[in-house]
């Protein structure tokens, strides 16, 4: 669903701004209300629920993506340090692998946070519609 990807991109834009989660949901709720109908919102919510995995690793990465990627940044830095100081070109492989791994973990956690924000927004919209 292309609209779901667009919602996730909107949520990523909201994650960049420094504000509370409630404020992010409020701002995103207006955008979702303008871009999706009620049936499309329900479809997007069900799709997100099936897509969001409940395993422990993804939950840890979602909540602590920077802490999880920190050891990989350390490996990258250590590989760079040892590669330069000991003139070992093979140590630069650790730098490349550590950097690529850290960036991948950061991106994965960012996407998971954006999906969670969209899901919270859709649940908020649904809750407000049932109260009316």
Residue 121, pLDDT above cutoff 70: yes
Q: What is the pTM of this model?
A: 0.84
Which range marks the domain in which residue 80 is found?
2-131
Mean pLDDT value of segment 60-69: 92
Residue 57, classed as helix, strand or coil, is helix
How many domains would you assign to the chain? 1
Q: What is the mean pLDDT of the chain?
A: 89
């Amino acid at each position: 669903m292309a609209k779901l990807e667009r919602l996730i991109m909107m949520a990523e834009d909201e994650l960049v701004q420094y504000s509370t989660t409630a404020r992010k949901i409020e701002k995103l709720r207006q955008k979702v209300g303008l871009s999706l109908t009620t049936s499309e919102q329900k479809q997007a919510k069900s799709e997100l629920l099936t897509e969001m995995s409940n395993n422990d690793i993804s939950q840890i990465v979602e909540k602590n993506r920077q802490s999880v990627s920190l050891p990989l940044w350390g490996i990258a830095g250590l590989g760079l340090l040892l590669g330069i100081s000991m003139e070992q070109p093979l140590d630069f492989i650790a730098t490349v692998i550590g950097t690529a791994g850290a960036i991948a973990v950061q991106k994965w956690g960012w996407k998971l946070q954006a999906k969670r924000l969209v899901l919270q927004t859709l649940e908020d919209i649904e809750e407000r519609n049932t109260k009316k």
